[in-house]
Amino acid sequence: MIGAFIIVTLHLVVLHGVDGREVSVNPQLVTSLHADKGANKLVADHVRCLVRMSDGKFVSVIESCETVKRLLEDAK
């Protein structure tokens, strides 16, 4: 009997948090992007985009939402 192999390729997008650390995001789990307009003082000053994940959590990144959108599209 010959075994069947399934190859799964996972493309992660590397973004950056406000502390400079790399944040790897699975594009398939991103539900929406929200640009920080400066109105929310609870968010750190350097946050340019809030990435909402399918589990309801947000990832705050320093990249603009336009950049994040392009990276997510390129990874799919």
Per-residue pLDDT of the chain (76 residues), as tens digits, is: 577 778 777 789 999 998 999 999 999 999 999 997 765 555 567 889 999 999 999 999 999 999 999 999 998 7
Question: pTM to 2 decimals?
Answer: 0.78
E strands, the chain, in order: 13-16, 22-25, 30-35, 49-53, 58-61
Q: How far is the C-alpha of 11 from the C-alpha of 28, rounded, in Å?
A: 9
